[in-house]
Structure 1
Amino acid sequence: MDIKFAHFSLKKSHRQWLLAAVVALLGVILWQTAHWSRQIALENLQQQNQHQLRLFVANLQGQLEKYEFLPELLSTNSLLLNFLQYPNDVNSINALNRYLETINKVANASDTYLMNAEGWTIAASNWLSERPFIGRNFSYRPYFQQAMEGKLGRYFALGSTSNRRGYYFAYPVRDKEKIQGAVVMKIELLGFEESWRSLKEEFAVTDPDGVIFISTNDTWRYKSLYPLDDTVIARIHDSQRYWKAEIGTLAITPKDRISEQAQVVNLGDPRHSDHLMLVQEMPEAGWRVHTFASLDAVNSQVLKSLLFATILYIAVVLLVLYLYQRIRRIKERERFELRAKRVLERRVGERTADLTAANTRLLQEIEEHRRTDETLRQTQDELIQAAKMAALGQMSSGINHELNQPLAAIRSYADNARALLTRDRQEEASWNLQQIAELTERMAKISSQLKVFSRKTSGQIVSVSLQAVIDNALKIVGPQLKETETVLRRVLPEEEIYVMSDMVQLEQVLVNLITNAVHAVEQQAERCIQIAVSTRQGKAIIEILDNGPGIAKVNLGRIFDPFFTTKSEDRGLGLGLSISYRIVEMMHGSLTAANREQGGAVFTLQLDLASVAQLRSGQELAK
């Protein structure tokens, strides 16, 4: 009894230790997962916001650079220098005010004005407004002081007259080496806040003292990122940079520093307090541009990673437990499999005899099917050849006409040559003999086409030129078209089209279809046949259209049946379309018939383009 109790206590202690180890390992994994996922999410967020920050800075710099050169350009105008030298000329001041007003409108600036060496404004674009700048002294502004030092003055501030934010450019007006005054142009940057306000990130631009003067968050304006000492606040008030605006503090609390330009800060909002702050300098203007992105997405990603890690860890633990249980049952399964193996061996022995007999019968049936298929293929080839001969017989009258004409001409040229030789007119006789040679060559071409048409197929599906097949078929039916005075139009693409087919069999199909079209239009006053070729979705589409009476609706479903025909017996046995249908099927294509709305019939032949078929074949081989 004591031994059993001790064994039970040992097993219980072992399970408790194992459970503690599993929980501790889970805690370590979750902590490490949270750390890694937060770092990765912060890096991704930094990359995304870095791009937005660059766009904002580039947009801001582009706006400033657009106006930067204008004060320098205005300072070269002699009208400004003359007025600085002779400020009491009434005509000059009116002309200068109008000139500055025009420049201000053209440049789309806020204000443009001229100051003398003491800082008094003596001409301005707003000279007709209720509160013009004329007569006001802005010598306390840093941009005027910089211009009087001979440099381009740059400064952002609230207008002491308009109380509107603006960026000032000032440039000295010189008489040779002496500075007589300064020309100033003010631009407003309100559009930036509106155009970037729709983004989920917050943007802020700070001056050299860290005070925000441009921001997509209106509550941040005229607040410093960090507390300012009294001397800095006094200097800002003395320069009247922000006029009478109260300089507050945004109270940003720095947390994790990621890099020199990026760190995690707390904005004091209890719901969404942590943000990723990115900073980029604008050294020309003396500004710093900040972007603040909420870490809600980062926290969400961390939670998802923790959830995934927990599920994965639990799955691994369950898998280990499952494997442990599986190992315990392996021996039982092995014993069961051994018994099952013995039973199976006995049953296999019983079934082997049955399968052997069935296999013998199956091989016999396969051999019979092979012989039947071979006989069927031979019969089909013979039918195709017979159809060719039948087509040749039907075209014999046209071919005879094609051959009789050169024969009659040969007879006439031969008689002429004999008569000319008796008269010793050798040159003319030689010309007649040359004509005889050309006529015999023409007859040889006609007979060669018949020989090509009557040859047997190789049975191989290869890439062939569709235009070449059409040309060969038209050479065969050409005499028939000529005899029946049938007009044939060809609508073919300019580029060569290659299809997968047997060239001889495809010629046979086209000859059959064109011949049927010739028969269909023979009762028409104007006989017309059209061959149109196009490509669509990896297929070559060949359409043979005629202007005949069309196909009766009751016959559309039977037109490809063997021995079905609406022609007289001397026109064929009704095998042409049936054989053509089977040939196209063997070439993995399709052949259909329909009636046209404008009258007549259309036979549509579809074949695989060579490039598509070869690609499909390559994929099947790869599998």
Structure 2
Amino acid sequence: MRNSEFLAIRSVSGWATTLALMVLMLFWISTVTYQKGLVTLSEEGTIRLELFVTYLRGVLTKYESLPELLARDKRLVNFLLNPGGRDRIEALNKYLQTINEISNTADTYLMDRDGLTIAASNWQEELPFVGRNFSYRPYFQQAMKGQLGRYFALGTTSIKRGYYFAYPVRREREILGAVVIKINIDSVEKKWGFHAETFLVTDPDNVIFITTYPLWRFKTLGELDATAIDLIKKSRRYPISELDALPISTVKDYSFGQVINMMGQDGKARTYLQQSQPMEEAGWNVRILTDIRPLRRKIIEVNILVGTGILFSYSLLALWRQRQRRLAEMKRLEDQSRRALQELNEKLEMRVNERTVELVETNEQLLKEIQDRKDTEAVLKRTRSELIHAAKMATLGQMSAGINHELNQPLAAIRSYADNAGQLLGKERFVEAAWNMAQIGELTDRMAQLGVQLKEFSRKSSGDLETVPLHGVLDGALEILFPAIRKHDVTLHVDLSPENIELLANQVLLQQVMVNLLGNAIHAIEGRNKRDIDIQAFEADERVVIKVKDSGPGIGAEHLERIFDPFVTTKPSGQGLGLGLTISERILKEMGGDIRVETSPEGAIFIITLHRATGRNENK
């Protein structure tokens, strides 16, 4: 009893000690992983930040020398000395517009020494700069001091962000005005918005004006004092923005950056590693914010892995020690029976292994058979779909001559009407010319309708069933077969009862079936004195019955029983493969319907049965 209690106390003590060591080890591992992870993130962030700053400098450097080059243009100098009349102003506007298009800048404009814009590239837009005074802008004030003016702001006219370069226009040492270009920086956010990190660019007042997270745009990193707000208002730098401060708190400073808390892109507080680099030439500060959630997830994963490993190792050690004790206790009692037990155990393991091998082999064979069947079914389905589509293409090929005639005849008429209209216009007979043009429009509409039906008929179908109006299917099929119907002078009789019959089918596939049946009917009555085709449809309970009857010679007894078999045809050699009715029967069965045939000396009747669409409005 005492020995049992001692062992229990010892076991609890061992588990407690292990747990305490595990907690200490996990804390140490978490700290090391966190520090190394921050260093890795900072190294990656530094590289991306350098690339971003280099890209920004490249954008600005590309246009930095353009204002100085334009300021030396004698046209601008002479215009400031003698603006002239309206024609000279318009000519200069066009000249600046051409420069703006070539240089791919947002706007280019010329200002006199009072800050009045006297010519601009956007002179034809709804809100041009011409006539507006921008003397309050710092870039103009810098240019009038003989310097290259730089400034970022929202346009007071366009309300669009831009970076401005301005340079004084001189005659000798006298400053006559300034030429200004504005470049669009929206592309910066678009090109860098796909990165996982968030980029920020702030002005000297810590106002965010470029960011890959739009909700932070025109927010501030800290509260602005009254002086800064007053300067921003006077320069109209951000005329439509509230300039609210983002809630930011510093967690810890490091040599490579800061760990901060602020509102994330999902509206929740997030922890970021912030790194920054100044752009002194532009007066900007560029920051990159790297979300450390992946680092925290990595720490959790490492802790789980290490903790699991420790517990598993301790469990194995405890089990091993327990097993050793039990073996030692049992060894004295099991010396005589161990050999027999070992033999039985070996036999049992052998049987289990043999049975396991058999089961594995059987399972593998079963899986192989299942996969083979799936592959066969997939090939069969794909082949059936391709066969159906090939049959449609074959049908279109057989009708190509009639379709060609159907298109060439209106084209010839269009040519004739167009020639007549040209002659009538020359004679100022406008009413008759308009009538000829109207005829051209009607012929064009008919050709377009035929094209639409041929495109709809030739496309591959998904095979999905839906509610289909029967009259729409018949209209499409008859439109496709119209050249053949007219060529053979066929008389059609269509009787739908009711006229708004709707059935459950696939419209493209059902139209293919109707084209096949009607095409066969036209072929059957070809050359006969009586060339009639009757189409009758009616509802019978939950089914729709469609009958297609022709006035041909009927189907001979030798073909009747095998009429739906593959490669059975009554057409002459070269006019059919004998697959049309086979494919039609397969299509109808897959839509839950069927087809049968009746024949007599007065012609053949093909009878289709399909499900009626439920939920249809009977009174529509």
Highest CA radius of gyration, 1 or 2?
1
Give the TM-score taking structure 1 as reference length. 0.50
